[in-house]
């Protein structure tokens, strides 16, 4: 995958405008327009790589490969931090041992597969980061300001889908986390605020769907080339 993504990114060019980028039929970041009709991954990682190297000395095959690996490593480091943040929130919710976040971070840091992915330009490091970020924001929403954090969870989930469509398998986890947070908030609310709390969470979940769709649409316009997703 590392070589293939590098080939696609090397052939791609930054479109002249955002409108051109959003049009899959003419976008120079659409692999299908670059004779890569068998491209089956999300285009967000390739787009990010191309934007980073654009106009620099790294805008070559070798340079793109190097930058892609660095971006993968940064994404994996972000996932490591998010694992510790999630563990910290779970410690707070369930009154667990306060050493768990550090143990969780250590276990992820020495896991073989993330280390391998972080060494190469692959979509998996980006996918894992955005899915983990979405879960972290969904979990954080139960502590307050659900509209903000549910919107952030939706943004991250949309970007995860734009990295690799298999992110859809994490949807039940995110949805379950949001539903459980809504239930907890509803039970904890006073009788006067129960209706307000319920409406707030209904709005938050609708916002999640809208934001996730928008970010997917922006992150991977190629997915909408046949208008299957509007």
pLDDT at 230 over 60: no
Residue 230 lies in a domain: no
Q: How does the average pLDDT of the chain come out, rounded? A: 94
Domain membership of residue 181 (yes or no) is: yes
Q: In this structure, what token pair is assigned to residue 183?
A: 């239930």
Whole-number Å distance between alpha carbons of 138 and 198: 16
Domain assignment of residue 128, yes or no: yes
222 φ/ψ angles, rounded to the nearest 5 degrees: -55, -30
Alpha-carbon gap, residue 127 to 133, rounded angstroms: 10
Helix axes 2-11, 61-94, angle to 10 degrees: 120
Full-model pTM = 0.94
> Which tops the pLDDT comparison, 228 or 42?
42
Residue 190 has pLDDT above 90, yes or no: no
pLDDT band of 229, cuts 50, 70, 90: low
Residue-level pLDDT at 146: 87
Q: What is the pLDDT of residue 25?
A: 92
In a domain, residue 148? The reply is yes
Residue 229 lies in a domain: no
Residue 227 has pLDDT above 70, yes or no: no
Quote the pLDDT of residue 228: 54
Provide the residue range defining the domain that includes 9. 2-224
pLDDT for residue 147 is more than 60: yes
**Cβ distance 185 to 158 under 8 Å?**
no
Domain count, the chain: 1
Given this model, what pLDDT does residue 188 score?
A: 84
188 Cβ contact list (under 8 Å, min separation 6): none
- Angle 100-109/61-94 helices, nearest 10 degrees? 150
* Residues 6+ away with beta carbon under 8 Å from 52: 58, 67, 71
Question: In 95-192, which ranges are continuous DSSP H helix?
Answer: 100-109, 112-118, 124-140, 146-163, 171-188
Cα angle value 52/54/55 (rounded, 5°): 130
- Lowest mean pLDDT: which of 42-46, 107-111, 127-131, 188-192? 188-192
- Per-residue model confidence as pLDDT tens digits over 45-103: 999 999 999 999 999 999 999 999 999 999 999 999 999 999 999 999 999 999 999 99
Q: Quick one: CA dihedral 99, 101, 104, 110, positive or negative?
A: negative
Any domain includes 43: yes
Does residue 146 lie in a domain region?
A: yes
């Amino acid at each position: 995958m590392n070589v293939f993504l590098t080939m696609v990114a090397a052939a791609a060019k930054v479109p002249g405008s955002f409108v051109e980028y959003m049009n899959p039929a003419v976008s120079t970041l659409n692999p299908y327009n670059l004779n890569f009709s068998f491209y089956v991954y999300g285009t967000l990682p390739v787009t990010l790589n191309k934007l980073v190297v654009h106009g620099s000395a790294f805008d070559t095959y070798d340079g793109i490969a190097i930058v892609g690996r660095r971006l993968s490593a940064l994404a994996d480091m972000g996932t490591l931090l998010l694992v510790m943040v999630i563990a910290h929130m779970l410690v707070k919710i369930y009154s667990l041992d306060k050493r768990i976040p550090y143990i969780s971070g250590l276990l992820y840091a020495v896991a073989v597969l993330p280390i391998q992915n972080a060494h190469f330009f692959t979509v998996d490091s980006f996918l894992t980061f955005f899915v983990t970020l979405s879960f972290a924001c969904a979990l954080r929403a139960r502590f307050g300001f659900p509209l903000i954090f549910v919107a952030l969870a939706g943004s991250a989930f949309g970007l995860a889908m734009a990295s690799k469509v298999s992110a859809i398998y994490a949807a039940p986890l995110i949805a379950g986390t949001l539903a459980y947070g809504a239930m907890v908030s509803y039970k904890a609310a006073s009788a006067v605020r129960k209706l307000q709390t319920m409406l707030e969470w209904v709005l938050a979940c609708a916002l999640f769907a809208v934001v996730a769709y928008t970010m997917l649409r922006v992150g991977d316009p190629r997915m909408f080339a046949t208008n299957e997703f509007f």
